Structures are given as C-alpha cells and as structure tokens.
Structure 1
Amino acid sequence: MAKNKKRKNTKTNKAPMKFLVIVTALLVVVMAALLFVVNSNGGSNSASTHEDRPPIDDLATYGNDDPAVSIVEFGDYKCPACGTWDREVFDQLESDYLDHEDISFSFVNFIGFQNESLIASLASQKIYHEASEDQFWDFHHALMQAAGVQGSQVDIDFVVDIASEHAPDVDEDELRTSITEQEYMDELYAEHELIEEFGVERTPTIFVNDVEVSDPFDYNEIERIIEEQLEENS
C-alpha cells in the first residue's frame, strides 16, 4: 500500500512541472515574436519620421522664422535631463549650426512636474513676450540649467530671481502677476496640443524637421540628420 501511494504522489508532482515547462516555452515563443517585430521595424534606436514637422510659428524660436531645417525641443524646465541636454548638446548645436541662416531652434513647453513646471513655463512665456530675444534666451538657458538641479524648489521667487539677472527689462511685479493670473495659459494649452499631436511622452524629445531623434544625447545622430535635411531642403 505504501508503494502505491508513493507512485501516486510522483504523478501529481509531475503535473505542475509539465505545466511550467509549457508556460516557459510559450513565453519564449512570445518573446521571440516580439523581438522579431521590433527588429523588423528598425528597433527603438532608430530615428522615426512623422508626416510633418512641428509648426514653429507660435513658438519661442532662435534664428530664422522660416528655415529649411527647424530643430524643435520638447522640454520641461524642471526636468534634470533637459538641463543636461541644454548644457551639453545645445551649446554644441549653437556653435556648429545656429548661426546658419537655414536653421532654427524652437522650444515647446512640456508640463511634467506639475506646479513647478507650470510656474517655470508661465514665467518663460512672459519673458518671451516682454523681453528682447537675447534676454529671453539668456533667461531660458539659466532657468533650464537651474530648475532641474536636485533639491531646487521652483516657485515664483525662484523664477523672478533668475529673471532679474537675465531679463532685467521685465518688471518683477508684472512677472509675478502674470504667473499668478496664468496670463499665458492659453499658449501652454496650445503647446500641449502639439505634444499630443506628435505623441511626445518624454523629455527632452528632439525633432529635426519631421524626424524625431531616437537619442537626444547622441550628437552624431543629430548632426547626421541635420546634414541630411539641409541637403534635401536647401
């Protein structure tokens, strides 16, 4: 009797083992199929082309308003990676390309860190409309590189302090009122629609004309796409 009971337990132990083998095999097949699909579509490391380029008519733009090649950053002032991109990649872009009459750079506000991002973007829009172009871009870069620093707290005092140094033509009290009353909220809503239209989900996201750069920190890729677009559109 004892031997028969032992053989019965062995059979019941084999059943879940067989089930696990089958499930594992199915998972392997599914993963292989997914890998095939990703590879056949070029993978996530290749630049993707959209139907059109992001329109820049209503955006803060550095350079020609009607360029052959438009570089557009979807960025968040509070995003640490955006601060790094601004410091490391934009400086190189400016040195290599932004004096070119056929190339421009534009910025789209992405509100990813709730109220801190919103305050920064509202301040930026006020500076864009009230200050000179040079003062706006000085403010933009200073805010971008300061707001995302670990431990920073972006409030109205924070952005006003930066504006007082980099955009002194803008009255501080008017800036505070503009932020509090959300004077340029309609423009931020319009930029949010642009974000949704182009399916932007992370920051920074960089477009060169209608081409979305796969790795915004790969300067060689950005440079290659710019040169290709210049050749096609100049």
Structure 2
Amino acid sequence: MKKKNNNQLFVISVCVGIIVLMGALFFVSKLQDKQAAQEFPKITGENKVKVNGFNIDEQPTLGNKKSGIEVVEFGDYKCPVCAQWNDKVFPKIQSDYINTNQISFSFVNYPFISKDSNLAALAGEVIYIYDPNAFWAFHHEIYRNQPEETKTWATKKYLTDLAKKVIPNLNEQKFQNDLYKKSTMKKVATDVAIGDHFNVQGTPTIFVNGKMVKDPSYDSIKAAIEEAKASIGK
C-alpha cells in the first residue's frame, strides 16, 4: 500500500513539474514576444494618407528632378534580390542615366519580408533626416553587408553600428530613440501605403513615370526609360 502511494505521489510530482515548466516556458515566450514587439514594431500602410503619385520630393532622390523621367524603386533591405539588384543593375542605371542627368531615381521603402525589415526601413528614414547624402551611403552599405534573409539581423545594435560607418559622429542614443518616433514610423507607413496603392507585390519593383516595369532587369528598365523619353520628345 505504501509503495502504491509513493508511485501516486511520484506521478503527481511529475505532472506538477510539467505544468510548472510549461507555465515558465509560456511566460518566457510571452516575454520574448513582448521584447521583440518593442524592438521590431509593426508598420502597415493602412494609415490615411492621400497618395498623389510617388511624391519624390519626400523620397531620397538622385539625378535630375526636372528631367521629366522619374524612376522609382520599391525595396526591402532584407531582400537578397534587392541586394543583387543594387550591386549589378543600379550601377549601370547610375552611370547611363543618373549621372548624365537624364532621369531622377528615388527609393521607396516596402518592408514585408520579416519583422526586422521594418526596423531597417526606419533606420534609413532616420539617416535621411540627418543627412540626405549619408542616406545613399547607408543604403548601399546595408545591401553590401546584408546577412542571410532567414536571420533576424536588422537589430538596433547592428543598424547603429552600420549607421556609424556613414556618420562617424553619430549620437547613438538619439539615433536609436529616433527609430521609434511616431513621425519616423509614419514615413515608412506612408511608403507602404504608396506601394499598396500602386499594387506592389514584391521587391525590387521598378516604376518609370508611373508605369510598373515588367521585371527589374537593366534591359527592361532601359527600354522603359527610352520609351518614356520618346513620349516626351527627348
């Protein structure tokens, strides 16, 4: 009888232990979720913004804004295809069209791949506010140093270290605080809303004078630019 009672006590102890362990794991999981939500805020395009074209005056832009040819890229800093595009295609566009003042080229955030895509987009917006020229250095730097897509790498620390490369005297604490300002989040939310309005489905997506290019290859973009030039008599 005593042995039976001992067995029952053992089973009860194991069950209680399992329940306590599951509760602890649940608590830790919730705490981790809360911490992740604090570091990687959710941003959607469902804010009430009036979409009036791409409004390139509000976007990081290179080249000649008076050229009559607007090329716009929607990108996600976590997107490996965007990094490849920035490395292989963008330099040709820059050499042939941007540096020769034939077009303007603007970048619009469209973060969608993972939770840290949003934080990377916010970092770009903050750098652009600090120094529009430094933005492009940061833009290329983040693509050149892009880790694997499956990893959550665009953390506050990683982005701060990257930002210091382009702004050596960066106030780190201010930079990190500015990432979470409502005004910064609104800028990214507005970008997403613009992308949704123009039916962006992925990145990189390229528009030439408001028309989506069928694919982001150099040849397709070149053809779209030349067609746009012909339409305005250039």
In 2, the alpha carbon distance for the partners of 1:183 and 1:210 equals 26
Question: Does the 8 A contact of 2:60 with 2:132 survive in 1?
Answer: no
Partner of 2:164: 164
Bigger mean CA offset, 168-177 vs 220-229? 168-177
1:76 is displaced (CA, Å) by: 0.2
Question: What amino acid is aligned across from residue 172 of structure 2 in structure 1?
Answer: E
Residue 213 in 1 paired to residue 213 in 2?
yes
Identity %: 34
In 2, the alpha carbon distance for the partners of 1:167 and 1:83 equals 22
1:91–1:170: structure 2 CA closer, same or farther, 3 Å change rule? same
In 2, the alpha carbon distance for the partners of 1:201 and 1:170 equals 35
1:57 is displaced (CA, Å) by: 2.3
Question: Does the 8 A contact of 2:59 with 2:108 survive in 1?
Answer: yes
Question: Does the 8 A contact of 1:83 with 1:146 survive in 2?
Answer: no
User: Across the two proteins, how many residue pairs are aligned to each other?
Assistant: 181
Partner of 1:129: 129
Partner SS for 1:147: coil
Bigger mean CA offset, 96-105 vs 164-173? 164-173
Provide Cα deviations, 1:188-216, integer angstroms capped at 9, x if missing partner. 11111111110001111001112211111
Question: Does the 8 A contact of 2:207 with 2:213 survive in 1?
Answer: yes
Residue 116 in 1 paired to residue 106 in 2?
no
Question: What amino acid is aligned across from residue 175 of structure 2 in structure 1?
Answer: L
- 5 Å matches for 1:187-206? 187-206=187-206
Question: Does the 8 A contact of 2:64 with 2:98 survive in 1?
Answer: no
Provide Cα deviations, 1:103-159, integer angstroms capped at 9, x if missing partner. 1110110121332111111110010010241x2101111112323545561101111
Please, which runs of 5 or more residues in structure 2 have no aligned partner? 1-51
State the superposition RMSD in angstroms.
2.0
Partner SS for 1:200: coil
Partner SS for 2:57: coil
1:95–1:169: structure 2 CA closer, same or farther, 3 Å change rule? farther
In 2, the alpha carbon distance for the partners of 1:169 and 1:163 equals 10
Partner SS for 2:179: helix
1:169 is displaced (CA, Å) by: 5.1
- 5 Å matches for 1:88-103? 88-103=88-103
Q: Provide TM-score, normalisation by structure 1.
A: 0.71
Bigger mean CA offset, 97-106 vs 77-86? 97-106
Q: Provide TM-score, normalisation by structure 2.
A: 0.71
Provide Cα deviations, 1:41-83, integer angstroms capped at 9, x if missing partner. xxxxxxxxxxx96331211111233431111001000111111
Please, which runs of 5 or more residues in structure 1 have no aligned partner? 1-51
In 2, the alpha carbon distance for the partners of 1:89 and 1:81 equals 11
Question: Does the 8 A contact of 1:61 with 1:105 survive in 2?
Answer: yes
Residue 106 in 1 paired to residue 109 in 2?
no
Bigger mean CA offset, 196-205 vs 219-228? 219-228
In 2, the alpha carbon distance for the partners of 1:104 and 1:232 equals 16
